[in-house]
Amino acid sequence: MDLLTTLEAGVKMVILFGGLMGAAAYLVLVERWVAAWIQDRLGPNRAGIPLTKIRLFGLGQPIADGGKFIFKEEFTPGHVEKVLYFLAPVVSLTAAVAVFAVVPFGEVEIFGYRLRLAVAPGVDVGLLYLVAVSGLGVLGVLLGGWASNNKYSLFGGIRSAAQLLSYEIPLGLALLGIVLAAGSLRLEEIVLWQAQTGLWNIFWQPLGFSLFFLAAFAEAGRLPFDMAEAEQELVGGYHTEYSGMKLMMYMVAEYLHMILASFLLVLVFFGGWHFWGLSGGEPAVAWPTALLRVLILLGKVLVVIWFFMVARWSWPRFRFDQIMHLAWYVLIPIGLVYVVGAAVLAEYGPDWAARLGLSLPLFMAAANWTIFLVVWVAAACLVPAHYDNRPLRGPIRPQAPAPETIP
């Protein structure tokens, strides 16, 4: 690795890190706005430029919040396990940031030099790295819960670990189907493949999309899957004992998870930087088109993030056993069916399409939509709905006596 490459990576890292921190700060503001509007309020609209009357719709709020966090007292309770307690938020944040190394923003050609807009461009195991490192975030949560030496924290950590580990499986299975179809683990290739055909994965992979969407929600720990820090039940979950900057590191890591989930959804299912009529399928382009592509990508990501925020207020939280039930009884079997279906279609699809006289994309879309509908209806009919968490047998749960025997 020569000096130029190192320098290039360094500059990209600084830009990406700064961008992510800024994005996390401003997304907190956006989330508060969306929450307020949904609750028929106006939301934060006061903080502007300090010492003036200029308000700027409250855009100064994140800076004020950041300043507040820096100057807040950072209290360390006496009963915690010191080393792990300090290490846990760092692990969480590091894992959340490191994942973005392989997220591609496209390619640009300047003065004959092909600049790939990703910190670690062309990683052959891009998707594997992504899934593995984002799974590392669980470690931070679990360590924090354990090191806090507190019942609520421990429960939050355990719940979170169980949930995240369970949902890694359907997440991986959904990605596996896409990887089988695209024939590459590189995110750049997957985006390029969608751009060249002009057919985003969501249009012909509905089952993979639904699986990935649900699992991504759970991975990001957002409502309706926010068991790890269900405030109404667990005080604050794993970060009950944290304050000041350490709490902020957890919060930022959580937001980065959401941003990552949105990026993944856009890159893998919504065609990345591709948009019909605006950017075509050629890999490297001049800077105006490259800029347009980045803007398209960020726009799509913002739409997905906005959906995350609205979804938070739309549906009630699942109970913990329901979350586990959903993962192990519904999503994982569906994921297995999906992977087998994707493998069969990848192997025999071209043959069958030729025999039926259909074009390949049309045949694939029809087959996948059929599988999707069949699996969805089957899951709805066959899997018993799980809304009663009382014990199923034993003396605790007798048969209800007939009404006339009750005096």
Partner 1 sequence: MQPNDPQVRWLKEPELGWTGKVYLPLFVEGMRTTLRHLVGPKLTVQSPEERHEIPEPLIYRGVHRLNRDEQGRVKCVACFLCATICPAHCIDIVAAPSPWPDRDKYPESFTIDELRCIYCGMCEEACPVQAIELTTLYDLTGKSREEMIFDKEKLLSVYDQTKDAEPIFQSWPLPAVSAEQENAQKK
Which parts of this chain interact with partner 1 (CB under 8 A)? Answer: 34, 37-42, 310-311, 313-315, 376-377, 380-381, 385, 387-388, 395-398, 400-401, 405-407
Smaller CB distance to partner 1: residue 41 or 151?
41
Smallest gap from Cβ 54 to partner 1, in A, equals 15
Smaller CB distance to partner 1: residue 38 or 158?
38
Q: How far apart are CA 39 and CA 313, in angstroms?
A: 9
Smallest gap from Cβ 381 to partner 1, in A, equals 7
Distance of CA 64 to the CA centre of its chain: 27
Q: How far apart are CA 59 and CA 5, in angstroms?
A: 37
Smallest gap from Cβ 337 to partner 1, in A, equals 17
Smaller CB distance to partner 1: residue 362 or 382?
382
Smaller CB distance to partner 1: residue 203 or 376?
376
Smallest gap from Cβ 400 to partner 1, in A, equals 4
Q: How far apart are CA 4 and CA 51, in angstroms?
A: 44
Amino acid at position 67, single letter? G
Smallest gap from Cβ 406 to partner 1, in A, equals 7
Half-sphere exposure of 89 (CA within 13 A, CB side): 19
Smaller CB distance to partner 1: residue 34 or 297?
34
Smallest gap from Cβ 398 to partner 1, in A, equals 5
Instruction: Fill in the DSSP letter of residue 183.
Output: T
The DSSP-derived string for 261-282 is HHHHHHHHHS-TT-BTTTB-S-
Among 95, 93, 92, 115, residue whose Cα is nearest residue 105: 115
Smallest gap from Cβ 317 to partner 1, in A, equals 12
Smaller CB distance to partner 1: residue 288 or 401?
401
The residues, any chain, with a CB within 8 Å of residue 346's CB and separated by 6 or more, are: 180, 181
Smaller CB distance to partner 1: residue 210 or 240?
210
Q: By the 8 A CB rule, do 339 and 174 touch?
A: no
Among 138, 155, 137, residue whose Cα is nearest residue 146: 155
Smaller CB distance to partner 1: residue 225 or 273?
225
Amino acid at position 310, single letter? V
Smallest gap from Cβ 48 to partner 1, in A, equals 15
Alpha-helical regions (H) of 51-105: 61-71, 82-98
Rg (CA), the chain: 24
Structure-token pair, residue 21: 């921190």
